[in-house]
Amino acid sequence: MKLIVGLGNPGSDYSNTYHNIGFIAADKVAALFRAPDFVLDKKSNAYISDSNIYGQKVLLVKPNTYMNLSGDAVGFIARYYKIAPQDILVIYDDIDMPRGTVRARQSGSSGTHNGMRDIVAKLSSEGFARVRIGIGPKPNYMALADYVLSKMPAPWSNSVMDKACGLAAEFVEDWISGKPWQDLTKTVKIDT
């Protein structure tokens, strides 16, 4: 069994914000595999789409907690289904990478991302895969929290970030199928 988690904040106030790029990418993965609709699971406090992809059970998950408590849902699901860290992949935003850059890693630290810090703490492991989608750089005049919670402007969300989420979905497909991709980086071509 595989667990794929897209990180974000619940509620319409946060839709289409930079910090919700993990949710957007999870929706792309679900569309790619024609997965069932996400349904709220009250026990885990997460939206789950239960699929069969390449002959194995895959849970696509969007935690219904706020970002900083993402580990609550991920930890519960991992324990409940007895999913080992090496069978978990998390998709999330990264302020330290330029917009349009997508990086896949088999493991690593949480960096500056509070949602990832909580997942690492609740799983007691850094040994799970991750796909990071660059949302940086932050404008100098904005506080970090204000930037990540701001709405993506239409040209970016409709083109660059949409394509970046598509690349993330491709990385996820490779991971599920067992194709090696450790430490790969792809960048969306930005038309000027």
Supply the residues annotated as catalytic.
19
> How many helices, marked H, and strands, marked E, lie in the chain?
6, 8
Tokens 């917009």: give the residue: 99
Q: What is the distance between the alpha carbons of residues 11 and 98, in angstroms, rounded to a whole number?
A: 26
- Could you tell me how far CA 167 lies from the centroid of its own chain? 12
Q: Which residues of 56-95 are buried (b: 16+ CB within 10 A; e: fewer)?
A: eebbbbbbbbbbebbbbbbbbbbeeeebebebbbbbbbbb
The first and second tokens of residue 75, run together, are 């930890």
